[in-house]
Structure 1
Amino acid sequence: MGSCIICGTPADGAICASHEQDVLFEFTGNSPQQLTSGRYYKGTVDGFAEFGVFVNIGSRVTGLLHRSELDQRLDSLDWDEGQEVYVQVTDVRDNGNVDLGWSIRQSEREFRGQLLDDPERGAVLIEDDEDEESEAENDATSDTSATEESTDDSDSENTEQQATTDGAGAGAAARQETESTQQSESTTEFERVEIETLNDHVGDDVRIEGEVVGARQTSGPTIFEVRDESATVDCAAFVEAGVRAYPEVETGDFVQLDGEVELRHNELQVETEDLTKLEGEDRATVEGRLEAALASEARPDDVDLLADHDAVTAVHTEIRDAAETIRRAVMESRPVIVRHDATADGYAAGAAIERAVLPLVRDEHAKSDAEYHFFDRRPLEDGHYDMGDATKDVTTMLDNRERHDEKLPLFVVVNAGSTVESKDGLELLDIYDAPRVVVDAQYPDEEVAELADVTVNPYLADAEGSELTGGVLGANLAAHVNTDVREDVSHLPAVSYWEDAPTVYTDLADEVGYEAEHTDALREAVALEAFYQSYEDKRELITDLLFEHGKRDLAEHVSGQFREKLETEVETAEPNLSIRGSNDVSFTVLDTEAFTHRFDFPPVGLLLDTIHRRELGAEAAPGDTHVTIGLGEDELHIRSDGRVDARDVAADAKDEVSDAGINATGTRDGSIEFLSGERDAVVDAVVSAISDRL
């Protein structure tokens, strides 16, 4: 029985079950069945195929990292044969095939420890293995040493007196040299430098002062992540293998650290010689210096909006506030999580913010893969930040805080989060004091706005936002977060409109080389991929679509698939549309339960949007107002160009059919849930309520 090198609890070996995925293993076995699924292993690239990468685990076992497991496209992976990489064993099949998963950590120091996976001894410290080898070598040479000792006895007697005399002189000289060295070290002056200048001090002894924003224990040194007013760097402190150095220093403490700047694996690191926890006035001085720098740097300059648009002008101050909050999170080494609805508009907004934040993360952190640790973008399938979404996020953030001493992330909820459907989710984040920003162009429930630290919504500023998209707000926010990406995101507002994009945005897109036909293709391509990525986003594909990287024909190709699939579904639905009129209001009703291919592209919302736009343009449509209704088994969706509030309609319909369990989801052009047994009565009541209100 041993103890876990991370938490110290009793363990069968050097690591407990709950921390196995936090350490890196070196495999010493010779059979796939000796591997342990779930563990992360050091390996070397053995070769490439169209379907993935072969990786050697140890010297005799090879596994496959399938391309579907990569966090980027296979042809953009910059690995070479023989290169050392890090992978997770996800499964060992009965036939001996080994399935591998991607590891977001691609350097040894990103793991909290390093162990051997020995089939006979289990998980053991590498140092223990080296000690055993050393002991074996000592045993092998002991007989030879004994023989030599016997032979040399007489010579020893003859030289003992001289050795004693020489030894005394050598000892005195050694003591004098040690005292001189200690005196020299005690008087060494360390110059305080800012972390962003460490590239100019490789090999030098320096002093840095700042906040500890992370601490992790490896099987060797303790790694402290220290942030000052300029940047962040890893500092390694060693007392004994696997033993916590400076246990009194924790995340959130302010410290003075002396050490030598080194470059390891092309990444800066400070080898700590002395670390002092600051208290009192010393702490206040450093903390004040960091706070002043944060406040000054985080607040964006008075950046102009991308275009002249009254609804955006009304929330210009809120956009600057949101940008400041995001910039500050990056500077504080706080992860930024963007949650956006899984539509073309939501992706345009989320991708714009991603485009702005990633360079800031790379500038702030010395680690080459920091952008995968400190930024994530996750789509919301239903367009709301509900309890299910929040529960997943909170579970992940608490696990990261426990395992990696990570700060609670900043959540940026885009094109969602303004209605009561998001209330429970935002309240859960609030309980844990996780900071929150909501950016939304949808009609809100005002009480929900209070649950965010910053809310950007034109309706809350008494501005009419019906002609505004989330993509417009997201692109303007991105330009404030990072002015360097202003031109990169200028075409995204035009991409976010399905029709009638304001001229100021189509002109803006044209100025940066995106004509109207191509923004249409981008929108359609992203809408198709959004459907297939509704649960988890792969950022590289969306980046290639929206920002192209020399792949302009990619969007055209994917948009062709979009049009083909959408047209097929529309042609299937059109013969089954029913038309009814009431009080000069024309209703087009589609039974989506009976006349659509469920779970296939396009989703119901996109199909209804398309039908509604086409029906508006049909000359035969009677009445002055047109409404489209998608009727499911126990819910219906409303499309009316934002003129119908689903909550008001649900309240009126409930008076007509009181026992149907009617409940609204969303506000303008939302949906209404009901009991399937009252389906026909509910449709009649909803049509009547809308007619009366319009």
Structure 2
Amino acid sequence: MGSCIICGTPADGAICDSHEQDVLFEFAGDNPNQLTSGRYYSGTVDGFAEFGVFVNIGDRVTGLLHKSELDQRLDSLDWDEGETVFVQVTGVRDNGNVDLGWSIRQSEREFRGKLLDDPERGAILPEDTDATDEDDESDDQQATTDGAGAVSPAERETDKTDESEESDESDDSQSETESDTEESDADESSADSTDTEESQPERTRVTIDSLSDRVDEEVRIEGEIVGARQTSGPTVFEIRDESATVDCAAFVEAGVRAYPEAETGDLVALDGVVELRNNELQVETDELEKLEGDDRKAVETRLEAALTSEARPDDVDLLADHESVAAVHSRIRDAAEEIRRAVMESRPVIVRHNATADGYVAGAAIERAVLPLVRDEHANSDAEYHFFDRRPLEGGDYDMADATKDATQMLDNRERHDEKLPLFVLVAAGSTDESRDGLELLDIYDAPRVTIDAGYPDDGVADLADVAVNPHLDGTDAADLTVGALGANVAAHVNDDVRDDVSHLPAVSYWEDAPEDYTALADEAGYDADHTTALREAVALEAYYQSYEDKRELITDLLFEHEKRDLAEHVGEQFREKLETELDTVGPNLSVRGENGVSFTVLDTEAFTHRFDFPPTAVLLDEIHRRGLGADGAPGDEHVTLGFGEDEIHLRSDGRVNAREVAAAAAEQADKAGISATGTRDGAIEFLAGERDAALDAVVEAVSDQL
């Protein structure tokens, strides 16, 4: 019976069951059945096929990482044959085939330890294998974040002292008589001690952003511990000062936590040597001290002053002269400050956006602004995948299901990796009652929250965010505003360097009637009207497929890569073909009815649409309403489009109809239909399927009364 290298609990080997997925395993067996499902293994790329990647696990076992398991397109995977990669074993089939899963951690430094998966001895530390000459040599290696063999700074100094003393004793024996040796040694030892103290003055503090110029030098840094992880070798502390963040490796013995009194959030002074490991900076720790009293206060004040100064963006101009955006200029700056502060505090930024073309455009704009800041802040090359994530919302609202998933993940990361709670940025969501419960759950855990939305809000929901960017909150009619325009302006304030990169996005976000200032910006950036249309349609199509995935590389290629214009044209053409085919299908099945001077185009989406293929109901109804299908020759000047499904009605009225008021009035007339609303203007009306006809009649009457 051993003990877990992470939590110290008794374990059958070096790791407990609850932490098996936190460490990296090296496979020492020769049979697929000796692998353990669920564990993460190091491997080497053996070859590529149309359906995935073959990866060697150990010397004699090969598994398949199917393309469906990847978080990106197979042709964009930057792997070479023979390259070391990290994968999860998800299963071993009866015929010996090994199924592999994707690991977001593609660096040993991201795991909390490294173990050997030995079929005979189980999960053991690499140091526990039979001693060899190579092992003896590895004992002299410096501590590294990948868990390699290491010796502590104290041991290094002891070795140096022992060698020095042996040399001194040898010299003394040649120059002095045996009776005088003890006295002479004492005198020389005292003199050596005095000389050492005088020759090693206290190190001067340096800033982390200067470490690239100080490789192999002894330095002192002062800052906050923003993360700590235990490897099978050293403990790795992530230290942030007023300038940047760096990993610092501290070694006691293999798999043992160094400086256990130091935790995330503590302010410390650290002495060490700057090293360059795998082209990444790290500091080998000689000494780490928690700061208290005046010393702590001085560092705390310095960090806070730097954060406040750096996080608050300059009062830069908006992308264009737009009244609805100008009304929330100060809120945009506040939102940008929260995002910039999160990056500087090593707090993950999670963007949750509606899975529509508009939501994707806004989310991608913020992503474009934040990623360079993350790369500048963190020395490790894959930080952008760990400190920023964009997660589309399939349902369009931040409901309890979304919040529960996020809360579970953030609490798991805090428990396992000592990670700070993330900043959640809700885009094209977070303004209505459907998001209230989700925001309240985040509020209970005090996870910071920003909402960016152009939709009509419900009372009090915006108060659940630390910063809410929505012109309607300031009494401004934002009917001419998209969230893509808001998101692009927030991005320009987060990082002014990407201003030119995102200037065309507002024009992309408008399906019709884009303000001239935005179309002019797009023209200046090389995006004419035809291309912005193709971009919008391409993103709308990709937003539908695998709507829960961010598709980071694909969206980047579509929105920001000029040389890949053909990609947008190709995908956009698919959008138009699929949409026109569906419009041809539903056209003959549109019904028109009038009520109190209002004409209604009604589509029975349950009976006359292909419900499980593109386009989805929302996209289809938007296009029907934009084209005014069914409105010609209908009575009245007011026109409303209704999508009538099995248990819900979608409203389209150019924002003139308040769905909650309609639902309240309709519920009085059809009191057995269980009518309720989701969303405010042009939302959806839900009802009981058994009262379908009664619900439709009640909604039509309520809409006509409201208009």
TM class by smaller structure:
over 0.9
Aligned to 1:13: 13
Verify the 8 A CA contact 1:609 1:639 in the aligned structure 2.
yes
Normalising by structure 2, we get a TM-score of 0.91
Aligned to 1:98: 98
Further displaced range: 321-330 or 620-629? 620-629
Contact persistence 1:21–1:39 (CA under 8 A): yes
Match of 2:216 in 1: 203
Note if 1:340 corresponds to 2:353: yes
Asked if structure 2 preserves the Cα contact closer than 8 Å seen for 1:416 and 1:440, the reply is: yes
Report the secondary structure of 1:594's partner residue.
helix
Residues 254, 278 of structure 1: 8 Å contact kept: yes
**1:85-116 C-alpha deviation (Å, 9 max, x unpaired):** 22211222222222222222222222111100
Kept in 2: contact 1:616–1:626 (CA 8 A): no
Structure 1 counterpart of 2:279, one-letter code: N
Matches within 5 A, 1:452-471: 452-471=465-484
Counterpart of 2:127 in structure 1 is 127
Q: Which residue of 2 aligns with 1:73?
A: 73
Match of 1:88 in 2: 88
Q: Figure out how many residues of one structure are paired with residues of the other and give that number.
A: 668
Structure 2 counterpart of 1:407, from 402, 414, 420: 420
Q: Which runs of 5+ in 1 are unaligned?
A: 138-164
Structure 1 stretch 604-613 or stretch 548-557: which is displaced more? 548-557
Which residue does the alignment assign to 1:646? 659
- The CA distance in 2 between the partners of 1:178 and 1:542, in whole Å, is 69
Q: Which residue of 2 aligns with 1:360?
A: 373
Query: Given the alignment of the two structures, is residue 242 of structure 1 paired with residue 242 of structure 2, yes or no?
Result: no
2:592–2:630 CA contact under 8 A, matched in 1: no
CA distance in 2, matches of 1:236, 1:218: 10
Superposition deviation, residue 76 in structure 1:
2.9
What is the aligned partner in structure 2 of residue 144 from structure 1? none
Alignment map for 1:280-319 (pairs within 5 Å): 280-319=293-332
Distance 2:197 2:72 in 1: 49
Paired AA for residue 196 in structure 2 = S
Is contact 2:44-2:85 (8 Å) kept?
yes
Q: Distance in 1 between matches of 2:611 and 2:98?
A: 36
Q: Deviations over 1:323-359 (max 9, x none)?
A: 0000000000000000000000000000000000000
Cα displacement (A) at 1:193: 0.9
State the AA in 1 paired with 2:430. G
Distance of aligned partners of 1:469 and 1:177 in 2 relative to their CA distance in 1, 3 Å threshold = farther
SS of the residue aligned with 1:550? Answer: helix
How far did residue 181 of structure 1 move? 7.5
Q: Would the alpha carbon gap of residues 621 and 198 (structure 1) be closer, same or farther in structure 2, given more than 3 Å must change?
A: farther
Determine which of 650, 671, 686 is the counterpart of 1:658.
671
Moved more, 596-605 or 338-347: 596-605
Match of 2:440 in 1: 427
Name the SS of the counterpart of 1:601 in structure 2. coil
Q: What 5-or-longer segments of structure 2 have no aligned partner? A: 138-168, 175-180
1:74 Cα deviation from its structure 2 partner: 2.8
Aligned match for 1:228, one of 241, 245, 259: 241
Which digits, 9 at most, give the CA deviation of each residue in 1:581-623, with x for residues without a partner? 1122110011111111122111111111111111269543432
Deviation at 1:202, TM superposition (A): 0.6
* Aligned position for 1:189: 202
Shift of 1:392: 0.2
Q: Which moved more, 1:527-536 or 1:423-432?
A: 527-536
Quote the Cα distance in structure 2 between the aligned partners of 1:592 and 1:535.
23
Partner of 1:636: 649
Q: CA offset at residue 130 of structure 1? A: 4.3
**Cα contact 1:446–1:460 (8 A) shared by 2:** no
Query: 1:190 Cα shift?
Result: 1.7
Residue 143 of structure 2 is matched in structure 1 by none
Corresponding residue for residue 29 of structure 1? 29
CA–CA separation in structure 2 for the residues paired with 1:347 and 1:501: 17
Matched-pair contact (CA < 8 Å) for 1:224–1:235: yes
The 8 Å contact of residues 172 and 185 in structure 2, kept in 1 or not, is answered as: no
Equivalent position of 1:557 in the other structure: 570
Deviations 1:488-521 (A, max 9, x none): 1111111111111111111111110000011110
Deviation at 1:169, TM superposition (A): 3.5
CA gap of 1:572–1:174, structure 2 versus 1, over 3 A, is farther
Structure 2: how far apart are the matches of 1:547 and 1:533? 21
**Stretch of structure 1 that moved more, 333-342 or 613-622:** 613-622
Can you list the C-alpha shifts for 1:439-485, whole angstroms capped at 9, x where unaligned? 00000012101100000000001110111011000000000000011
Residue number in structure 1 paired with 2:459: 446
- What's 2:160 paired with? none
Deviation at 1:397, TM superposition (A): 0.2
Q: Kindly tell me: are residues 34 and 183 of structure 1, through their superposed partners in 2, closer, same or farther at Cα, counting changes over 3 Å? A: farther
C-alpha contact 1:615 1:621 (8 A) present in aligned 2: no
Q: Is the 8 A contact 2:593 2:600 kept in 1?
A: yes
Q: Distance in 2 between matches of 1:646 and 1:23?
A: 51
- Change in Cα spacing, 1:465 to 1:121, as seen in structure 2 (3 Å) is same
CA shift digits 1:666-694 (9 cap, x unpaired): 00000111111211111111111111111
Aligned to 1:45: 45
SS in structure 2 at match of 1:556: helix
* Alpha-carbon distance change, 136 to 502 in structure 1, aligned in 2, over 3 angstroms: closer
Change (3 A) 1:617 1:595: closer
Is the partner of 2:62 in helix, strand or coil? strand
Cα shift at 1:568: 1.2
Task: Please give the secondary structure, in 2, of the residue aligned with 1:593.
Answer: helix
Contact 1:586 1:625 in 2 (8 A): yes
1:66 Cα deviation from its structure 2 partner: 2.4
Distance in 2, matches of 1:317 and 1:290, equals 25
Question: What aligned pairs does 1:394-543 form with structure 2 within 5 A after superposition?
Answer: 394-543=407-556
The answer to whether the Cα contact below 8 Å between 1:312 and 1:458 also exists between their aligned partners in 2 is: yes
Q: Secondary structure, in 3 states, of the residue corresponding to 2:106? A: coil
Shift of 1:132: 8.1
Say whether residues 1:687 and 2:669 are aligned partners. Answer: no
| Cα deviation digits, residues 533-581 of structure 1 (max 9, x gap) | 2122221111111112521100100111111111111111111111001
| 1:132-211 → structure 2 map (5 Å cutoff) | 169=173, 180=192, 184=196, 187-211=200-224
Is this contact kept in 2: 1:237–1:245, CA < 8 A? Answer: yes
In the alignment, does 2:587 pair up with 1:574? yes
The residue that corresponds to 2:150 in the other structure is none
Q: Is the 8 A contact 2:270 2:287 kept in 1?
A: yes
Change (3 A) 1:550 1:183: farther
**Aligned twin of 1:146:** none
Greater CA drift, 61-70 or 364-373: 61-70
Deviation at 1:174, TM superposition (A): 9.8
Name 1:150's counterpart in structure 2: none
CA distance in 2, matches of 1:253, 1:617: 66
The CA distance in 1 between the partners of 2:451 and 2:33, in whole Å, is: 49
Q: Distance in 1 between matches of 2:130 and 2:262?
A: 31
Name the amino acid aligned to 2:403: A
Measured in 2, the distance between the counterparts of 1:506 and 1:174 equals 85
Query: Which TM-score applies when normalising by structure 1?
Result: 0.93
Q: Secondary structure at the match of 1:680?
A: helix
Distance 1:183 1:255, change over 3 A: farther
Residues 590 and 630 of structure 2 are in contact (CA less than 8 Å); yes or no, is this contact kept in structure 1?
no
CA distance in 2, matches of 1:643, 1:672: 15
The answer for the alignment partner of 1:213 in structure 2 is 226
**SS at structure 2 position matched to 1:570:** helix
CA distance in 2, matches of 1:191, 1:628: 71
Rounded Cα–Cα distance in structure 2 between residues aligned with 1:169 and 1:8: 50
